[in-house]
Amino acid sequence: MYALNEQDYIQQLSIDCVIFGYREKQLNVLIPKLKFMGNFWALPGGFVHQNESIDQAARRILEERTGLKDIYLEQFRVFGAAERTNSRLLQQLIERNGETGENGQFNLNELAWITRRFVSIGYYALVDMNKVVPQKSTIDESIEWYDCKLLPTLIMDHNEMIVSALDTLQLNLDQKLIGFNLLPETFTMKEVQELYEAIFDKPLARNNFQKKILDLNVLERLDKKFTGAANKAPYLYRFLK
């Protein structure tokens, strides 16, 4: 982990990332578990350098955790309750990593700024899970994909952040056609429907859905792949840029 010098960062402002991935009809979130803390999970996050934009900071944080550069990401909300930061918990996190961590570079005096009140900008990202190699930071015990419907209890307001990110994803899905960032290059109509059903967590009527999606005029239908199984093969589609 890079040094966290107070003067390099905007104070009391953080970024937290809800990284969504989709696989086998299931919407997942990438969540690290904290080291030395018992059962504490926290969203991947970080701070904003004085000389970088907030979007650059979010991209940097996401690249550190996923290895990917070109990720679809978007702000969804700022979390700014006056009492949202659990300073005591953050203090313990610094102390325990300073005592026990193999790097041993955490020093409570130098890192006192991290335990102050923070206003946090929530970003959500949509990734192709097959391309991601999740990366632990030095304060993480593990980092795993969790089913959106079976989340662990995260620190502070991080569970609320995931709910809010999912709300925004649902609201934006049709207007901004961002769902296709979760799918591979080509896909069947059934796969698009399964994605929508996972995101909205409810079944959708096939005929209505197909009409609705085709009416968006954003899909290109590819030639049917000849499989030998005659007309049983479904059409493949691709997202028009």
Applying CB under 8 A, which residues contact a second copy? 10-13, 48, 50-56, 75, 77-78, 80-82, 117, 119, 121, 171-172, 175
Phi, psi of 132 (to 5 degrees): -90, 135
CB of 52 to a second copy, least distance (A): 6
> What are the DSSP calls for the chain, one per residue?
-----GGGEEEEEEEEEEEEEEETTEEEEEEEEETTSSS-B---EEEEETTS-HHHHHHHHHHHHHS-SS-EEEEEEEE--TT---HHHHHHHHHHHHHH-SS----TTTTGGGGS--EEEEEEEEE-GGG------TTEEEEEEEETTSPPPBSTTHHHHHHHHHHHHHHHHHHH-GGGGGS-SEE-HHHHHHHHHHHHTS---HHHHHHHHHHT--EEEPPPP--SSGGGSPPPEEE--
Task: Give whichever of 48 and 192 is closer to a second copy, judged by the CB atom.
Answer: 48
Residue 37 near residue 92, CB atoms below 8 Å: yes
CB of 77 to a second copy, least distance (A): 6
Residue 72 near residue 177, CB atoms below 8 Å: no
Task: Give whichever of 11 and 103 is closer to a second copy, judged by the CB atom.
Answer: 11
CB of 63 to a second copy, least distance (A): 18
CB of 172 to a second copy, least distance (A): 8
Task: Give whichever of 75 and 92 is closer to a second copy, judged by the CB atom.
Answer: 75
Task: Give whichever of 167 and 220 is closer to a second copy, judged by the CB atom.
Answer: 167
CB of 237 to a second copy, least distance (A): 25
Residue 182 near residue 169, CB atoms below 8 Å: no
Distance CA 4, CA 180 (A): 36
Task: Give whichever of 34 and 61 is closer to a second copy, judged by the CB atom.
Answer: 61
CB of 13 to a second copy, least distance (A): 6
Task: Give whichever of 117 and 131 is closer to a second copy, judged by the CB atom.
Answer: 117
Task: Give whichever of 81 and 233 is closer to a second copy, judged by the CB atom.
Answer: 81
CB of 7 to a second copy, least distance (A): 12
